[in-house]
Structure formats: structure tokens, C-alpha cells
Chain A
Amino acid sequence: MGEKILMKGNEVIGEAALRAGCRHYFGYPITPQTEIAHYMAKRMPEEGGTFLQAESEVAAINMVYGAASAGVRVMTSSSSPGISLKQEGISYASCAELPAVVVNIVRTGPGLGGILPAQCDYFQAVKGGGHGDYKMVVLAPCSVQELYELTVEAFNISDKYRILSMIMGDGILGQMMEPVEFKDKEEIIKVDKNWAVTGSKMERQNNVITSIYIDPEKMEDHNLKLQAKYKAIEENEVRVETYNCENADVIVAAFGTVARIIKNVITMAEKEGIKVGLIRPITLWPFPDNEFQKYADVPKAFLTVEMNAGQMVEDVRMAVNGKKPVHFYGRMGGMIPTQQDILNKIKEILKG
């Protein structure tokens, strides 16, 4: 058993990164994730690492690009408008197959939006917010404990596949304090980074990190290689939690903070004789299609609840593939769906 301490979500992300062997952090302040930078500014020097406050999000992600090219574990963090600025570097790093962790503690949008929690960056995260055909592994924790565990896991997945991983939380998760149990020692996968630019020492051929292939055949070959990698990740790295789905009248799909609310809705509904199940995608990409197909015959209908205008619902509809109706309930602007509102929506669906 490791130590159990009360910690703020954002700070846990920083501590988890350190425990995963990350010694390089490049970022730029933005609410509601700034405590990650505060934490790193103090802890990185203590651990002999680099904390650098970049001049912009664009610079920060490109510093990540450089450090990842040099073979070290590296992280950046931001919130929605800042992540938009990082999209350029995210696309380049994806093409160059650089492993790194990007944290997005989502706030409301579009534009400068507001600073309250939201889930409105789902499309941007899972469908490719930057240009080109690329994917990131997107992990959506729903507790401070999971922020810790999935941050460590994100580094391992990134190194294993040479891919960017995103931790996508929201302002509630980032700002809340919960007890978190740290392991005494993390399992850090060791991979050969013989591709990294570290100086050849005149002992090997030169390494080149690039994202440009002017020759169309080479560019297509590289794209095919990327797609094959994404397929392998889809087959091996899906994470999902299912709860109470076996005899459910309605199965709710929700991720992150909203999934916690659904667990209370399930208890409320039970008292009224309504059986509600939950499928909680933990990896938003790769999406747990199989889990939805597995339970597609069980409920009368599915309901997706999100803090946005309806984004993950599209993936749920594709996964359910017309077998059952898929309804949507969402709030925006930093408004949080209440248990009663969600229960009312479930009753409305069952009434037909």
C-alpha cells in the first residue's frame, strides 16, 4: 500500500507525471489548470527537471516537440483556448510520431468562452483538432485517483506506441480535492528510443525527426503506417467502465465528471423502480464500440449526457448502429446537469 493523501486534481496530475519519470514540463498559464504549472514550477527543480513557462501555448507545444524528439518524457498542459493554439504542434508531433502527454482541463467555449467546467472539446480531442489524418489517445478520468493513475498510464501508452496521449478532464476535476492513494513505485515501461536525436556520438547513423514527405508515395506510406498503428491501439488500448447494465431500462453513456452524477441518478432511479445502467468510456479514443454493441439489445433506449451540445453522442449512435434509439441531454456554458434533470429525461424517454 502506498501513501494516501488529500490533494487537488491539478496537482495530482503534476505529481503523477513526476512519478512516471517526466522531468520536462513546458506550459503557459490558463484557468482552470494553472495549478499544474504552479506545482511543476516548484517540484521540477526539486527533482532535477525542467520547468519552463513558455511565451505562448504555441511555443510550449513546440518545446514539447523538441524534448520528445530528444527522447525524454515530457508533458504540457492547458485549457480549451490554449489547446486550440497547441493544435499545430499536436498535428506535427503526431506525424513525427513523438510520444508526449498533453493535458486539457476543459473550460467552456467557443472562443474565450468562460472558465467553468465543460466537455465541449470532445470533437477536437478525438476527431483531430489539427490538420491531417491523425489520432491521439484520449483518456477521460472521473476522479482525482484516476487523474493520477491515467496520467501515469498516458506516459506508458505514449512511449509504447510513439503517440501523443491527452488527459481530458474538466474544471471540476482539476479544482476538486479528493484522497488519492499513490503507489510506492510506478511501473514505467522501458522502450528503446534509438530514434531520438541525442547526438550521434559518431557511433550510429544520424537520426532525423520530421513531419514532411514531399514525395506523395512516401507521404501515403507514412500515413498507412500511422493508420496501422492506430488500428493496433484500437485493438489493445480501449478502457471502459460498465455499471448496472445487465437489466437496464435505459443505458446512459457519460464520461468524466458527468459519469459521477449518473451513478447518483442510478440510485435515485432505483427507488422509483427504474433500472439505469452506465457505460463510461475511459478512453474517448479509442472508443469502446464493442461495449455498446455488447449491451445494444438490453435497454429500451440509450441516453448520452454531456456538458456540451452533443458530441460523444455521435460516437454512441455509431456504436449502437441503429439497434436502439440514442437520446441526448446536455448543458453548456459551465452549467452542470443535475441528477433530477437527468432522471426526468430518462422518465420522458421511457414514457415514449
Chain B
Amino acid sequence: MPKVFERPHALKDVSMHYCPGCTHGIVHRLIAEVIDELQIEGKTVGISPVGCTYNNYEYFNCDMVQAAHGRAPAVGTGVKRANPDNVVFTYQGDGDLAAIGTAEIVHAAARGEKITTIFVNNAIYGMTSGQMAPTTLLNQVTMTTPFGRNSESHGFPIKVCEMLSTLEGVVYLERVAVNDIKNIKNAKQAIKKAFQIQLANKGFSLVEILSTCPTNWGLNPIESLKWLQDNMMPHYPLGNFKGKDLEV
């Protein structure tokens, strides 16, 4: 019988360490499927972030560099400038990308650096156990906003796609979610397009992926998917911000 479903080759056959219900595993798989389909495993270099996915070099079957907090776009810039034929992607969370690494992502984007960023937004710091992220919603309770995030004390959540969409160096920008089958399929198409943009040497591409953090949200996996849909999606609308009709 022909196989109709199998583990992507770009994903190692090892157990992941993520919490039950966490969607990092889904995002990893989507990236690996895209790498397989585009047949770029041998030329891909991934940049791992800090945070929950600091060691995703143990999961992806390609060359990887582990970067300091927030610096993945700068490290990716160095890798890409050294070997422009490599396909370089950074994998970053919201604390990494939208707090400590804001300068690096904004300027890599502004330069039109020919790298692809996979930005996983779960509205909270995961690995350090649930503090406020730049993407934490107003009224959301975290370890450092125990009475809920309020704009007076804590400022407003950052909408990364909207912010980056003003930059000329950005070629492709899309926000997706991994909360149901339809959205997961859309997420894969967006990731694939982002990699294709890089392969076509067009410029900077980023996919923001709305994800869950059941452990630090204090919800079970099913409730988390619903919370994402009911609370994150209204504030972070899904859709394409740039490059929708670009032929690659």
C-alpha cells in the first residue's frame, strides 16, 4: 500500500519537550513539510531563538544556529550574507521578537534582508513561566500583570504585522493561526509562500502564527484553542498584510 501520510524528512524522529496542547509542534511540522516540498533541506539554515524553542535544532533536520535572545534576525543576516545560496529562517517567539529583539527584526525587515521569519505569538512568555509579553492582551492576567494588563501601567499590545507592514523592505507578511484544521492548512500555505519569496530572492518575509500556551494561560488544550479564537483573533486579525498577489 502506498503511504499517504508520514513524518516529514526535515523533522527528526524524536520526542519534543513541549507542554501538552502547545502548538509549537504543529508549527515545527508545517515548516518541515514546506522544507520537504520545496526540497531545500540541504541548503537550509535555521536560527533558533531563546525561550521554549531554544533547542529546536534538536528537531529540525537541517543546519541550525542557536542565537541570543532577540538576535536571531542579526545572526540570520550574517549567515545569509556569508552564503547567499542558503535558505535562512529564524524561529522566534513574541518576547524574543517583539521585546528584546525589536530593533533586530525591524531593521532586518527594513533592509529587506532575504531571510524568512516564523513568528510564534502566544501572547505570553512561556519558558520563564508566564510573564507579560509585548503581545499580551489588555486585561490578560500574567505573572507580572496579576491584575490584568492595563494600558496605563503596561502600555498596549504590539501588532507586529501591522507595524512591519509600513516598511518597504518587507515583501511578504501574513498572520495565520494554528487553532483548527482550516487555519493550519492556511498557515502552511503562508509558510510555503514566505520560503518561496526568499528562494525568488525578493526580500524579507514573515509569517506571524497565533498559538497557544495552555500551561501559562492556565487553561486546558481545548479551552486554549477557544481562548485563542475568542480573544487573540479579534485583536490580531488573520490575513495577508503584504505580498498576497506576488508571483513566485
Query: Is the contact region of chain B dominated by helix, strand, or loop, or is it mixed?
Result: mixed
Taking CB atoms and an 8 Å cut-off, the chain A residues in 152-203 that contact chain B are 197-203
Are the CB atoms of B77 and A63 closer together than 8 Å?
Answer: yes
Does B65 touch A at the CB level, under 8 Å? yes
The interface centre, meaning the residue of B63, B78, B104 with most chain A CB atoms within 10 A of its CB, is B78
Does B62 touch A at the CB level, under 8 Å? yes
- Which residue of chain A is the closest to B115 with respect to CB atoms? A66
Does B227 touch A at the CB level, under 8 Å? no
Are the CB atoms of B41 and A68 closer together than 8 Å?
Answer: no
A223 to B48, CA, bound (A): 22
Are the CB atoms of A199 and B43 closer together than 8 Å?
Answer: yes
Taking CB atoms and an 8 Å cut-off, the chain B residues in 103-131 that contact chain A are 103-104, 106-107
- Which residue of chain B is the closest to A63 with respect to CB atoms? B78
Are the CB atoms of A200 and B41 closer together than 8 Å?
Answer: yes
Are the CB atoms of B77 and A70 closer together than 8 Å?
Answer: no
- Which residue of chain A is the closest to B47 with respect to CB atoms? A66
B123 to chain A, nearest CB (A): 25
Are the CB atoms of A66 and B55 closer together than 8 Å?
Answer: no
Are the CB atoms of A212 and B54 closer together than 8 Å?
Answer: yes
Instruction: State which of B41, B43, B57, B75 has its C-beta within 8 Å of the C-beta of A66.
Output: B75
Q: What is the size, in residues, of chain B's interface with A at 8 Å between Cβ atoms?
A: 37
A212 to B76, CA, bound (A): 18
| With A210-B57, A212-B54 as contacts: A58 and B71 at CB distance below 8 Å | yes
A50 to chain B, nearest CB (A): 5
Of the stretches B80-88, B173-181, B199-207, B229-237, the one at the interface is B80-88
A58 to B104, CA, bound (A): 9
Taking CB atoms and an 8 Å cut-off, the chain B residues in 130-158 that contact chain A are none
Are the CB atoms of A70 and B103 closer together than 8 Å?
Answer: no
The interface centre, meaning the residue of A58, A197, A207, A214 with most chain B CB atoms within 10 A of its CB, is A197
A149 to B68, CA, bound (A): 33
Are the CB atoms of A197 and B45 closer together than 8 Å?
Answer: yes
**A63: chain B residues within 8 A (beta carbon):** 74-75, 77-78, 81
Does B186 touch A at the CB level, under 8 Å? no
A68 to B54, CA, bound (A): 20
**B99: chain A residues within 8 A (beta carbon):** none
A88 to B75, CA, bound (A): 13
Interface string of A40-54 (1 = CB under 8 A from B): 000000000010101
Instruction: State which of B42, B65, B103 has its C-beta within 8 Å of the C-beta of A55.
Output: B103
Taking CB atoms and an 8 Å cut-off, the chain B residues in 50-79 that contact chain A are 54-55, 57, 60-68, 71, 74-79
A184 to chain B, nearest CB (A): 28
Does B240 touch A at the CB level, under 8 Å? no
Are the CB atoms of B71 and A62 closer together than 8 Å?
Answer: yes
Does A287 touch B at the CB level, under 8 Å? no
Does B44 touch A at the CB level, under 8 Å? yes
A64 to B80, CA, bound (A): 11
| With A67-B79, A212-B55 as contacts: A62 and B68 at CB distance below 8 Å | yes
| With A54-B74, A59-B103, A199-B63 as contacts: A66 and B82 at CB distance below 8 Å | yes
A52 to B76, CA, bound (A): 13
Interface string of A65-92 (1 = CB under 8 A from B): 1111111101000000000000011001
Are the CB atoms of A70 and B86 closer together than 8 Å?
Answer: yes
**B78: chain A residues within 8 A (beta carbon):** 24, 26, 62-70, 74
**A233: chain B residues within 8 A (beta carbon):** none
B34 to chain A, nearest CB (A): 16
| With A24-B82, A63-B78 as contacts: A200 and B62 at CB distance below 8 Å | yes
Given contacts A58-B103, A197-B63, A211-B66, 16 further A-B contacts (CB under 8 A): A50-B81, A55-B103, A58-B71, A58-B104, A59-B104, A65-B74, A65-B75, A66-B74, A66-B79, A69-B65, A89-B71, A199-B42, A202-B41, A206-B61, A207-B63, A210-B66
- A sample of 23 cross-chain residue pairs with beta-carbon separation below 8 angstroms, ordered by A number, consists of A54-B74, A54-B107, A62-B68, A62-B71, A62-B78, A65-B74, A65-B75, A66-B47, A66-B65, A67-B78, A67-B79, A69-B65, A197-B79, A199-B42, A199-B43, A199-B45, A199-B86, A200-B63, A201-B42, A206-B57, A206-B60, A206-B61, A208-B66
> Interface on B for A, CB 8 Å cutoff?
41-45, 47-48, 54-55, 57, 60-68, 71, 74-83, 85-87, 103-104, 106-107
> Interface on A for B, CB 8 Å cutoff?
24, 26, 50, 52, 54-56, 58-60, 62-72, 74, 88-89, 92, 96, 197-203, 206-212, 214
